[in-house]
Amino acid sequence: MTGAASTTAVSGAQPEYTSDEMMSIAAARALENGKRCFVGIGLPSTAANVARRTHAPDLVLIYESGTLGSKPDVLPSSIGDGVLAETADAVIGVPEVFNYWLQPGRIDVGFLGAAQLDRFGNINTTVIGDDYTDPKVRLPGAGGAPEIAASCREVFVVVRQSARSFVDKVDFVTSVGHGSGKGDRERLGLPGAGPTLVITDLGVLRPDPETAELVLTQLHPGVEVEDVRAATGWDLQISPDLTRTEAPTAAELSTLRTLKEASR
Ligand SMILES: CC(=O)SCCNC(=O)CCNC(=O)[C@H](O)C(C)(C)COP(=O)(O)OP(=O)(O)OC[C@H]1O[C@@H](n2cnc3c(N)ncnc32)[C@H](O)[C@@H]1OP(=O)(O)O
Ligand SMILES: O=C(O)/C=C/CC(=O)O
């Protein structure tokens, strides 16, 4: 799949799907039933809602606006979307989300998006460019993501992979991943394990246990190692145990497409 793009159609014996759909479904599969997931808006929210409607009906979706156990039938347009409160088991105050649930380690997985990501899983969602006051692109900002990245027991990141997004050095560290390498989180006093999984439209990366540097561990169907290297701004390490992602099933695709259609 040379030059893979988010709209690339992938075909074979299974139904046709795009690389964006593969990414959302691979991200959904990573979420275990029964876990508590702090859901970021955008790609993470899509994946979390697919997970809840497929293999993980008891996945507890927590959004920053204070909704615990939301079961939206459409993809929420923001953390303030009424559907999150209307379908929640409980609605609590934002300080309670952060001070009671997040910071003491009561949330299993924080699920975040990114505009830029580096080899240690540090995330930029603030600015592109060297000058904060005069950036090339001003991004949505931090929101609660730095706290989520600090304190969830682990963090999953879902992001489209390209030389623009997978950079050697992020222009701004919005949310700390593994800092400058193994041991940095402990040094900084960050309680959670940090990014343990990065899911992209090309494959899946995990931190090396010795160095915390992201290593390619899984390739999506039709993607080759060289495609992933070309979409990475550092010398990407490849796992010796590289595996292939299973293509989306018809049921997974139908769930994803139905949700997206309902959210238009
Ligand atoms: C709990 C919480 O959710 S806290 C909220 C904190 N905020 C986040 O977590 C946001 C995370 N998501 C991001 O950062 C995403 O990259 C977003 C929102 C900036 C953009 O994502 P998408 O809407 O999927 O759009 P897309 O990736 O196509 O980018 C849209 C535009 O953003 C800009 N942009 C995004 N990433 C980059 C980048 N790495 N470099 C330069 N420009 C960029 C570009 O202008 C781009 O338009 P273009 O492709 O025509 O150049
Ligand atoms: O402010 C935040 O932390 C998150 C904002 C995302 C949203 O508005 O949906």
DSSP 8-state secondary structure symbol assigned to residue 249: P
Nearest CA to ligand 2 atom 4: 143
CA of 200 to the centre of ligand 1 (A): 14
Annotation: CATH topology of 15-259 = Glutaconate Coenzyme A-transferase (3.40.1080)
Ligand 2 neighbourhood includes 78 CB (under 6 angstroms): yes
Q: Is the pTM of this model over 0.90?
A: yes
Distance 126 CA to ligand 1 centre (A): 10
Phi and psi at residue 259, in whole multiples of 5°? -60, -45
Please report, as a single letter, which amino acid is at residue 55.
Answer: H
Instruction: Choose one of 78, 94, 98, 147 to mutate for the ligand 2 pocket test, by most ligand atoms within 8 angstroms of C-beta.
Output: 78
The atom number, within ligand 2, closest to the CA of 77 reads 9
Q: Where exactly are the structural domains of the chain?
A: 15-259
Of the pLDDT bands very low, low, confident and very high (cuts 50, 70, 90), residue 109 is: very high
pLDDT band at 12 (very low <50, low <70, confident <90, very high): low
pLDDT, residue 15, reads: 80
- The tens digit of pLDDT for each residue in 196-237 reads 999 999 999 999 999 999 999 999 999 999 999 999 999 999
**Residue-by-residue DSSP string for 170-210:** -SS-SB-SSTTSTTHHHHHT--S--EEEEE-SSEEEEE-TT
**193 contacts: CB under 8 Å, gap ≥ 6:** 153, 154, 155, 185
More confident residue, 2 or 16: 16
Q: How far apart are CA 76 and CA 145, in angstroms?
A: 17
Q: Which residues are catalytic?
A: 64
What would the pLDDT profile of 226-264 be if each residue is shown by its tens digit? Answer: 999 999 999 999 999 999 999 999 999 999 999 999 997
